[in-house]
Homo-oligomer: A and B are copies of this chain.
Amino acid sequence: MPEPLQDLAHIGHAELLTPKPNESLGFFEQVLGMEVEARDGQSVFLRGWGDYQRYSLKLTESERAGLGHMALRAWSPEALERRVQAIEAAGLGQGWIDGDVGHGPAYRFTDPDGHAFELYFETEKYRPPEHLRPSLKNQPQRYVGRGAAVKRLDHVNVLALDVRANRAFAEDVLGFRLYERIELDDGTEAGAWMSLTIAAHELIYVKDALGHKGRLHHLAFWVDTREEVLRAADLFLDNDIEIEAAPSKHAIAQGFFLYGFEPGGNRIEVTHGGYFVYDPDPEPTVWTEAERAKGQAWGVKTVESFHTYGT
A180 proximity list for chain B (CB < 8 A):
138
Chain A, residues 219-244, CB within 8 Å of chain B (1/0): the string is 00000111110110111111010010
In the complex, which of the residues B79, B134, B139, B199 contacts A198, with contact meaning CB atoms closer than 8 Å?
B199
Interface residues of A in 64-82 (CB under 8 A from B): 73-79
A104 CB → nearest B CB, Å: 13
A47 at the binding interface (Cβ < 8 Å): no
A248 at the binding interface (Cβ < 8 Å): yes
B4/A75 in contact, CB under 8 A? yes
B3/A238 in contact, CB under 8 A? no
- Interface on chain A toward B: helix, strand, loop, or mixed SS? loop
A134 proximity list for chain B (CB < 8 A):
238
A231/B145 in contact, CB under 8 A? yes
Binding site for B on A (CB under 8 A): 1, 3-4, 6, 9-10, 50, 52-53, 73-79, 125, 134-139, 142-148, 179-180, 197-199, 224-228, 230-231, 233-238, 240, 243, 246-249, 251-254, 256, 273, 275-283, 285, 287, 291, 296-300
Most buried by B among A79, A144, A227, A287: A227
Given contacts A76-B1, A125-B283, A299-B246, contact A197 B237 (CB under 8 A): no
Closest to A141 in B: B238
A279 CB → nearest B CB, Å: 5
Oligomer: number of copies:
4
B136/A197 in contact, CB under 8 A? no
User: Complex Cα distance A243/B301, Å?
Assistant: 12
In the complex, which of the residues B145, B256, B278 contacts A235, with contact meaning CB atoms closer than 8 Å?
B145
A230/B226 in contact, CB under 8 A? yes
A199 proximity list for chain B (CB < 8 A):
198, 276
A297 proximity list for chain B (CB < 8 A):
136, 233-234, 237
User: Complex Cα distance A79/B198, Å?
Assistant: 18
A75/B227 in contact, CB under 8 A? no
In the complex, which of the residues B73, B224, B251, B300 contacts A273, with contact meaning CB atoms closer than 8 Å?
B224
